[in-house]
Structure 1
Amino acid sequence: MNIQIFGKSKCFDTKKAERYFKERRVKFQAVDLVKFGMSRGELQSVKNAVGLENLVDWDNPDAAIIRYLAGEGDKLEKLFENPRLIRTPVVRNGRQATVGYCPDVWKEWT
């Protein structure tokens, strides 16, 4: 099991996700999404697992531009260029992924 948590340093849900795995003594790799971002392959894998609409942080005012982009590839490219538009935390376990705080799903992984 190789857990990766992509999040923003000031995001409370990201901190809750890290605490969830620490309490269960599950090793994970924390990645600062704003500082390091995601590779194109990782972003594509997460999109395939959760869907593009769930991946976007619609509370971010800059996310409105994504609604007006025509193709899914264009939307994905905008998320790749600006990782602040991605809803956090993004928790990956191989090909499986969740967006947001989802302890019920993570329980099945551990």
Structure 2
Amino acid sequence: MEETIVNIQIFGTKKCNDTKKAERFFKERGIKYQFIDMKEKGMSKGEFNSVAQVNGGLQGMINWDGKDKDLLALIKYTADEDKLEKVMENPSVIKTPVVRNGKASTLGYQPDVWKNWS
């Protein structure tokens, strides 16, 4: 009779519309979640790596259409072994929201995936 505990974390920014939509999605379903503001806290290396693993690696985590073209170019041409550090220093380049549920995670607004998390 015990319900599955869903442990949702939403990494995003207060200004990101997709992050707001993700929060609304879980709120409307009465699912508790933890919001982590990437401008204030960002992700730990462990969190980042676990999300990257299921979302196409480091390249898949980056929002290549982001506003800061100079920073994106810098990251693009940074040596592979230094890329992770550059991205961790600049969480604004990560696609948001990053929604985690244990080992499962998504990038961007993906309600069709979240519906199956229970």
TM-score normalized by the length of structure 2:
0.87
Shift of 1:67: 1.4
Give CA deviations for 1:40-84 in whole Å, capped at 9, x if unaligned: 11011111110222210112212122211231x422111111111
Other-structure match for 2:99: 91
Question: C-alpha root-mean-square deviation of aligned residues, in Å?
Answer: 1.1
Mark the runs of 5 or more structure 2 residues left unpaired by the alignment: 1-5
Residue in structure 2 matching 1:65, options 48, 65, 74? 74
Q: Which has the higher helix share?
A: 1
User: SS in structure 2 opposite 1:36?
Assistant: coil
Tell me, in whole angstroms, the C-alpha distance in 2 between the residues paired with 1:106 and 1:47: 18
Amino acid at match of 1:79: V
Mark the runs of 5 or more structure 1 residues left unpaired by the alignment: none
Tell me, in whole angstroms, the C-alpha distance in 1 between the residues paired with 2:65 and 2:74: 12
TM-score normalized by the length of structure 1:
0.93
Shift of 1:13: 0.2
Tell me, in whole angstroms, the C-alpha distance in 2 between the residues paired with 1:8 and 1:84: 9
Q: Which has the larger radius of gyration?
A: 2
